[in-house]
Amino acid sequence: MDYNLEISKLESSAELVKVLAKIAIISTAFSITILLFGFDVPDPIIFLSILLIPIFVVLSNNFITKYYQIKIEYLSHELLAVKYANEDEETASNVNQSNFANPDYLRNRGTDEKGPAFHTGKNNFSTDGERVDAMSNRDYDNIESAITKGEEMLRDANAIQAENSAKQWQSSESVDTDLIESGVDNLGDLIKTGWFEKNKQDGAVKRLYENNEGNQI
């Protein structure tokens, strides 16, 4: 099916139907007026005819336009679906002709001998273009700037907190009974001795949080 031809036919039909609708409305109004009043038409009837006929013409045009627009949109969707299906078939046929050693691996990486086309105003790669090296891009040069007072304060606070945390950790290790009994100085050395494997306790974590010892963060 030639969808473009069918769409053109629908558009032509819509215009023809609009013309016929106008003729039908005018002739119907004229016929009814002649049958009811003859050729001696009162002025109010003439006024109503002048007022109502354009309204009916506009309403009929809108109805006809919407009716045919639905049909045209339906055909347009079918046309796009067929177009995308054909493109997928062409892509699949082209990919199947890949030079990869593994024919099942069908995703090809794009290549171009002229390199990327940055800042040229052209989206398409072409062998006629000039090569643009990536290193010529200077958009991110000299983006470093002096830190603000707030950032400087946060940095100092983090350093102080890190120092205090290290002191508290060392203090805790120095009085830890398990470290002292095992003859080691820190938790890392205690782990190396296999102490935790030898002293497994069921529900140890649960008891730790029940005693509120695990909520120190």
Q: What pLDDT digit, counting tens, does each position of 158-204 carry?
A: 999 999 999 999 898 888 888 888 888 888 888 888 888 888 877 77
Segment 83-99, tens digit of pLDDT: 767 666 666 555 545 45
How distant, in Å, are the alpha carbons of 205, 206, 212 from that of 215? Answer: 11, 12, 6
Confidence of residue 52 (pLDDT cuts 50, 70, 90): confident
- Give phi and psi for 96, each to the nearest 5: -65, -20
Is the model more confident about 147 or about 166?
166
pTM of the predicted model as reported, rounded to 2 decimal places = 0.36
Q: What pLDDT is attached to residue 145? A: 73
